């Protein structure tokens, strides 16, 4: 369980660091770009992936290229969501992205739904609606407070679908991570340059350092999650459920206690519904 706890901690710390970025004068697009430099380097140093599987004819290169674009785009969306909607809503939206994966399993991959799956799907949709609900007192934030969590949910769901396609092609996870991070770096730098052109923010050593730390946390989340699956090979559902429920619980505590994020009664119900939906879908 130690690996799971470390993975949960790293996942929530990613959101915390994105939340603190402006307070420390860091540029999020630059941080996201340099994050892939750190994460890709750590994949090479720690996991030592062989890139030979990527040269196979059925290596699903389109999915890898799509991920290289989608990963930095959704990372930026996560940073925007954390800023406008807070850590609690953003982390719950990220974990509820499994609803998109489940719908894809029904529609695209021919999986037959069970009553428990349908119940989990219904609860998850209710949870998502409750989490993005904004009362009258909070409507001054505008559409960003509910739109960006939805973007995060759909985006991470799309990433999960593409990762499943890459895995189905027989590419080991370490090799696919190495390729995706290497390709995502120039894409993310392009996003950072566009952001600089729009806002005038200069590339700074401070944002570079912040991005490298973000990459360490991002890699730690992935590494410890993989180690948890290795340590508990016969309990993948336990790993999946503990990871998702742990992030929802810890993210809620950090957001409410450390950052004084306000949750309405409906938002709080949404957190509970999300936990119930994740548990149901895991058991299914």
Residues in the chain: 284
* Mean pLDDT in residue range 160-178: 89
Place of tokens 């499943």: 164
Q: Measure the CA–CA gap between 157 and 163, rounded to whole angstroms.
A: 10
Q: How many domains does the chain have?
A: 1
Q: Measure the CA–CA gap between 96 and 151, rounded to whole angstroms.
A: 12
Neighbour tally for 111: CB within 10 Å: 12
* Mean pLDDT in residue range 53-75: 89
pTM over 0.85: yes
- Across 120-157, b (16+ Cβ under 10 Å) vs e yields bbebbebbbebbbbbeeeeeeeeeebbbbbbbbbbbbb
* Mean pLDDT in residue range 174-182: 94
* Mean pLDDT in residue range 70-81: 96
Nearest to 52 by CA among 209, 172, 208: 172
Q: What is the structure's pLDDT at 187?
A: 97
Q: What is the structure's pLDDT at 134?
A: 66
1 three-state secondary structure: coil
Written as six digits, the tokens of 268 are 């709080």
DSSP 259: S
Write out pLDDT tens, residues 127-150.
999 987 765 545 555 677 789 999
Written as six digits, the tokens of 2 are 């130690």
Examine the pLDDT at 58 and tell me if it is beyond 80.
Answer: no
Q: Which domain holds residue 81?
A: 2-283
Write out pLDDT tens, residues 217-267.
999 999 999 999 899 888 888 898 899 999 999 999 999 999 999 888 898
Q: What is the structure's pLDDT at 61?
A: 85
* Residue-averaged pLDDT of the chain: 91
Write out pLDDT tens, residues 96-125.
998 998 888 888 777 888 898 899 999 999
Q: What is the structure's pLDDT at 164?
A: 86
């Amino acid at each position: 369980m130690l690996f799971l706890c470390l993975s949960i901690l790293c996942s929530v710390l990613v959101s915390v660091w994105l939340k603190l970025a402006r307070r420390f004068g860091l540029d999020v697009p630059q941080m996201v770009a340099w994050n892939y430099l750190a994460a890709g380097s750590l994949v090479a140093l720690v996991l030592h992936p062989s890139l030979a599987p990527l040269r196979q004819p059925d290596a699903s290169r389109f999915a890898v290229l799509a991920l290289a674009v989608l990963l930095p785009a959704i990372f930026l969306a996560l940073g925007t969501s954390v800023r406008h909607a807070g850590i609690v809503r953003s982390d719950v939206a990220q974990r509820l992205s499994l609803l998109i994966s489940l719908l894809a399993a029904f529609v695209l991959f021919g999986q037959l739904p069970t009553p428990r799956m349908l119940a989990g799907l219904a609860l998850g949709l209710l949870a998502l609606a409750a989490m993005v609900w904004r009362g009258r007192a909070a409507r001054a934030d505008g559409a960003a407070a509910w739109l960006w969590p939805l973007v995060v949910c759909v985006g991470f769901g799309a990433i999960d679908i593409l990762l499943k396609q890459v895995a189905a092609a027989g590419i080991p996870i370490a090799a696919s991570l190495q390729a995706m991070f290497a390709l995502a770096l120039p894409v993310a730098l392009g996003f950072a340059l566009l952001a600089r052109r729009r806002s005038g923010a200069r590339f700074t050593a401070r944002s570079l350092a912040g991005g490298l730390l973000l990459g360490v946390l991002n890699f730690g989340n992935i590494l410890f999650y993989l180690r948890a699956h290795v340590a508990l090979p016969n309990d993948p559902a336990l790993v999946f459920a503990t990871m998702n429920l742990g992030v929802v619980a810890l993210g809620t505590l950090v957001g409410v206690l450390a950052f004084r994020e306000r949750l309405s009664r409906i938002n709080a119900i949404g957190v509970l519904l999300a936990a119930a939906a994740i548990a149901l879908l895991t058991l299914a």
